[in-house]
């Protein structure tokens, strides 16, 4: 069934009921991804949105952007000039990318970010800002070639995104509290294959799991090991004898 054929309100409540029964952050994120695909979004991310000029880069709960765009975005250091992210730091309301106005003469670098996104076929997007007490501003951001962006769809996506983010964050906090710094078997597996030089996609094929699950496990392992990137996570895991070469 297409998103256009849905009773948006009922669908949103059905998804929230399903999310409430899930037991792990990965399950929540997978459910959110499946839901957003129903609305025509082909990629999405969950991230914090650091204030400028802090110098901090976004910290991803999940980076579901295509790898080539992520690499280009990071290489060009686009975040500090990204008008989509900048708009999110000024509003509590969900917004379409098309609502963000850029003055090409006064903001040439911001216009470069927009044009680069279009070259990577990133034309239509939607952002749900998320504000929580004592936490950095976060967002669920999504894009697609022809997503359903009518008002009913946007209200449903807003509600579902807020609930999914809250549920995933809660489960992640509980999991870390329960497990401390001990890695799960799945986290040790992806770190071991990372140490062997495999990419997230290659690991997903080897282990027969979603690439998003690999990325999630690497992020969880890095957090437990107090590592700032996957290489440091591998080093710390070896040092603490949680994996071996």
Among 161, 178, 195, identify where a domain stops: 178
Other beta carbons within 10 angstroms of residue 42's beta carbon come to 17
Domain closes at, from 178, 199, 231:
178
Same domain, 97 and 216: no
- Domain harbouring 199, CATH code: 1.10.10.10
Q: Is residue 234 part of a domain?
A: yes
Residue 18 sits in the same domain as residue 98: yes
Task: State whether 201 and 94 are in the same domain.
Answer: no
Do residue 188 and residue 159 come from a single domain?
Answer: no
Confirm whether 159 is domain-assigned. Answer: yes
One domain for residues 198 and 173: no
Asked if the structure places residue 244 within a domain, the reply is no
Domain that holds residue 119: 3-178
Last residue of a domain, one of 178, 198, 219: 178
Q: Tell whether 196 and 111 lie within a shared domain.
A: no
Q: Is residue 89 part of a domain?
A: yes
pTM above 0.75, yes or no: no
- Alpha-carbon distance of 56 to 23, in angstroms, equals 31
Q: What is the pLDDT along the chain (245 residues), one digit of tens a residue?
A: 455 567 999 999 999 999 999 998 889 989 999 999 999 999 999 988 888 776 677 888 888 888 899 999 999 999 999 999 999 988 999 999 999 999 999 999 999 999 999 999 888 999 999 987 767 789 999 999 999 999 999 999 999 999 999 888 888 777 655 555 688 899 999 999 999 999 999 999 999 998 989 999 999 898 888 788 888 888 888 877 888 87
Q: Are residues 85 and 122 in the same domain?
A: yes
> Among 67, 79, 104, 26, which residue's Cα sits nearest to residue 200?
67
Same domain, 32 and 125: yes
Q: Is 48 helix (H, G, I), strand (E, B) or coil?
A: strand
DSSP run (H or E) holding 10: helix 8-20
* Same domain for 148 and 49: yes
> 56, 185, 243: which is closest to 233 by C-alpha?
243
Half-sphere exposure of 202 (CA within 13 A, CB side): 9
On whether both 98 and 153 belong to a single domain, the answer is: yes
Q: Which two tokens stand for residue 39?
A: 């609305």
Domain of 18, CATH number, reads 3.30.450.80
> Is the domain of 164 the same as that of 222?
no
Tell me phi and psi for residue 182, to 5 degrees. Answer: -80, 130
Q: Does a structural domain hold residue 245? A: no
Q: Is residue 134 situated within a structural domain?
A: yes
pLDDT tens readout for residues 112-145: 999 999 999 888 999 999 987 767 789 999 999 9
Give dist(CA 217, CA 191) in Å, integer.
9
Residue 19 domain-assigned?
Answer: yes
Q: What is the pLDDT of residue 60?
A: 80
Q: How many domains does the chain have?
A: 2
Q: Verify that 53 and 84 share a domain, yes or no.
A: yes
Peptide bond into 182 cis (omega under 30): no
């Amino acid at each position: 069934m297409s998103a256009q054929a849905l009773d948006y309100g009922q669908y949103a409540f059905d998804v929230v009921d399903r999310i409430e029964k899930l037991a792990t952050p990965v399950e929540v994120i997978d459910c959110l991804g499946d839901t957003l695909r129903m609305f025509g979004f082909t990629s999405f991310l969950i991230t914090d949105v650091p204030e400028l000029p802090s110098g901090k880069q976004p910290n991803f709960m999940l980076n579901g952007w295509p790898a080539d765009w992520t690499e280009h975005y990071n290489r060009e250091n686009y975040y500090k000039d990204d008008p989509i992210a900048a708009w999110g730091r000024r509003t509590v309301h969900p917004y379409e990318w098309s609502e963000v106005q850029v003055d090409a003469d006064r903001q040439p670098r911001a216009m470069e970010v927009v044009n680069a996104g279009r070259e990577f076929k990133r034309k239509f997007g939607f952002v749900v800002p998320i504000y929580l007490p004592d936490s950095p501003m976060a967002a669920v951001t999504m894009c697609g070639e022809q997503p359903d962006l009518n008002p009913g769809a946007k209200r449903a996506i807003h509600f579902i995104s807020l609930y999914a983010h809250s549920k995933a964050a809660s489960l992640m906090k509980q999991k870390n509290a329960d497990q401390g710094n001990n890695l799960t078997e799945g986290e040790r597996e992806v770190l071991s294959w990372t140490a062997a030089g495999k990419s997230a996609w290659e690991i997903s094929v080897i282990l027969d799991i979603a690439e998003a699950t690999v990325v999630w496990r690497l992020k969880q392992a890095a957090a437990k090991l107090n590592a700032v990137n996957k290489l440091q996570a591998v080093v710390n895991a070896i040092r603490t004898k949680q994996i071996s070469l």
